[in-house]
């Protein structure tokens, strides 16, 4: 398992900061049972609504809107 701070991907850091600044989104860590991306994911939430979900990795940036 990794922590978000362990991922050193400049695109993910820019995306994360943009979501915080532009949408005032809060992070929520969730365990995905999906066969495509099993493991810990990050949800960006504003209030009770999920804005998007991200899967931070060292070598790529993926996000589901």
Amino acid 42: pLDDT: 86
Domain borders along the chain are 4-59
Residue 8 to residues 35, 47, 57: CA-CA distances in angstroms?
25, 28, 8
pLDDT digits (tens, 9 = 90+) for 25-45: 998 888 877 766 677 788 899
43-64: average pLDDT: 83
**CA dist., res. 6 & res. 39, Å (int):** 15
pLDDT digits (tens, 9 = 90+) for 16-26: 899 999 999 99
**Contact by Cβ (8 Å): 42, 29:** yes
Mean pLDDT of the chain: 80
Q: What is the pTM of this model?
A: 0.69
């Amino acid at each position: 398992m990794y922590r978000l701070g362990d991922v050193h991907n400049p695109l993910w850091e820019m995306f994360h900061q943009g979501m915080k600044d532009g949408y005032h989104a809060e992070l929520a860590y969730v365990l995905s049972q999906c066969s495509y991306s099993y493991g810990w994911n990050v949800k960006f939430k504003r209030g009770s609504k999920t804005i998007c979900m991200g899967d931070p990795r060292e070598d790529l940036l993926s996000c589901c809107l």
